[in-house]
Structure 1
Amino acid sequence: MYDVIGAGLGPFNLGMAALLDETEGIEALFFDQKLEFSWHQGMLIEGTTLQVPFMADAVTMVNPASRYSFLNYLHEQNRLYHFYFLESFHIPRREYDHYLKWLSEQLSSCRFGKRVVDAAEHPAGFEVAVQDVLTGETEIFLTKHVVLGMGSAPSMPDWTASGSRNLYHSSEFMDRRKEDLGASVAVIGSGQSAAEIFLELLRGQETGGYKLNWLTRTDGFFPMEYSKLGLEHFSPDYTDYFYQLPQDLKDQIVPAQDSLYKGISADTIAEIYNLLYERTIAGRKPDVQLLAKTAVMDISCNGEELDLACYQREQAESFVLSADTVIAATGYKTVWPKAFSRLAGAMKWDEAGRPVISRDYQAEMNTPRALHSVFIQNGELHTHGVGAPDLGLGAYRNAHIINTIAGKAVFDLSEKNVFQHFGTKHVAGKKQLV
């Protein structure tokens, strides 16, 4: 009987495993079907950085003394002085991936090559069936609590040409970077991934000899909100405030906050502009088009080419753009693990088909079970707000879950972490209107 079993080993459950490894009295196991840890391999483009500071590692924000911190990783890699002279809060994405891989190799509770194939309620908690992906052998584990690391899958519109080898999601970019792109390339999307791919292709355009198009249905190629007070939305304080709002209001707020967690870093925009500026010296005209306010309604095959049926919404004009390769940076969708379909039947779901989740990140059950819980990692955007997928809040959420499992304050979680007030609860000198 384990205290907790985690399904999936992304950054969040890996962070929980790290915190629990330095916590006495809680026995845990974590499983992932991958043979070894990897994190967004298809987007580890050289020169790209995390969009959060290095302190958003697995442990620092709740236990900066942990041996699993990013700074200790640098120390063990003999890179502490290199990082010191780098003078950057934002680390290379490749290094973050390697840090997490290093972390996964330190933790005996993390088991790779193990696929969770079934889970169900049990009188003593939950029964979890785990299959070895190489041998097919299945083991049964009992646990008091389950933590679901909600995975995500590439999201693609239902275009006619879906399935064409020359139309693929941005998550495959680095795996296919060396392939022949043909005479023309189109990148679709307005977020950081689209911008990084466009910049990488722009850098290689003179060698590759291809036309390059970048299309987005949004109003422009805009930066993400990165002001200091804006960043305070990714705090426990804002999570507390957002959670107590009515669900219908939450569903209006989240889409209106796109600029907080979508968009492009100002540095990436500057790099793109600077390169375009240099390419136009002496009257040169690079074969590049940036098309905003332009929705790609459909993509179809036309022999070896792909035809993009486009619609410029302000001019209400339709046109067709052809490309040999199309890279869709169209985001990700949350995937409910198929193995937990029986467990899903015991959970409460809202009218939109989303799990009902408590402030303590517990999935609410049809029949409440005081001593046994299913916790959700990164599946609570609709209940807890924009901080749900943010790496900087991962350690806080894990500490919150661990405190709940332990039934005591294993980690001290501060109540006031930001300068501004979200809501009126702590406003000094306020008076009630009669």
Structure 2
Amino acid sequence: MAWVTSWRWAERARSLRWRVAAALAALALLTILAQSLTWLWLLERQEDAFINQQLHEQMAHSMALWREHPEAALPNSPAMWLYREPFRPSSQRVEAPPQFAHLPVGDHEVFIGSHEYHVLVRADAQARYILVYDVEDHEFRLNRLFWSTLAAALLLALTTLGAGYWLAGRLTRRLGGLAEAVEREVPEALADPAMEREVLALAEAFDRQRNRQREAMARERAFAANLSHELRTPLTAIRTDAELLSQLPDLPAAVARRGARIVAGVDRINSLAASLLLLAREARPGERLPLALAGLLDEVWQRSLDAVPAGLPVPQLENAVAVDCQLLADPALFELVLRNIFDNALRYSADGTVRCWLADDELAVQDSGPGFAADELGHVFDRFYIGRRGLHGLGLALVRHVSQACGWQVTAENAATGGGLIRLRFAPGDLTIPSHTVD
């Protein structure tokens, strides 16, 4: 629990609202402490001056009174004592305690244990006078005032902290609303003339950035659409001519192979153009229908095998998904995701096995290839990433693009038993798994 508490405090310390409140509380605490300590220092100086004045007046009065009336009683109270030591033997002699008797003529501060004493020593032609004052009550009052002031300062700081946190929350509420609007991609302008000047500047900067991004996306989509359209006509003509050429009678086998290679190359270019067009567009799922997942896996796998050139080794599909599992999804988009995952598995599995199974809300597809390079796992879904094992292409980039549009999560890893493993986690409620599903 200690690390959870420290994490929460660390998160709170990074909050602008909390920092504003803490700064106000610290400023209030420092201000009241500085002011209070200054007042206490001035009060102590004034009270010391008052005590010294009273002692001087008492000493002068006692010395004058003794000269006129030697039999007069000396002042003796719980906090003040006067000791009189005549230079000649006398019955009025009152000797001071040893800790005060040795003090020379003058004003002194004497500390005995935790007690502080102010001591005045005077002398005339007849005697030596020692006036002692215990300032314990004075120090007690000052200490009580100090702790009362400190408690009041802490209470004020806590009050300021709460008030500052509430006030900072009101001031930063627009920032939170602005962040939420950016996250939800609200189409309306974010700037509002009623906003505070600093928040308005930030909102206007967001609006300008969003406009630039929209313009760039529009240009990219227009370019991809135009490129796809312009390429389609000549590529269709090339493919048609290649098909007709390969169907001529008495055609040499080498020429027929080249014709088939041309057709396959044109199909690959068309597929690449379609992928680029889909990536440029904002993929949005249409009508979601219940799909029989196991049967759809077999169908898409078979279509992927049909695209493999004749004579090349092909792996086997091990479909461990229960027949009555149903997925609620856009059929076209999900088939696109499956086809690209299977194409990636076919590329690396040779004549091995490709396994499919379900675990909770997750579809796993494992090939029997060498797996992903450890340092390239973070780039598996990047477009045209060139790693140590060659160009990744657009297939898995399309998988991630469509998955994000459908609310799914796709990840790649290396299986413990060997081979690459693609995990596709569906959104909650999309997948219906019967209790007897095989993992």
Bin for the TM-score computed over the shorter chain: under 0.3
Query: TM-score, normalising length from structure 2?
Result: 0.19
TM-score for the superposition, normalised by structure 1: 0.19
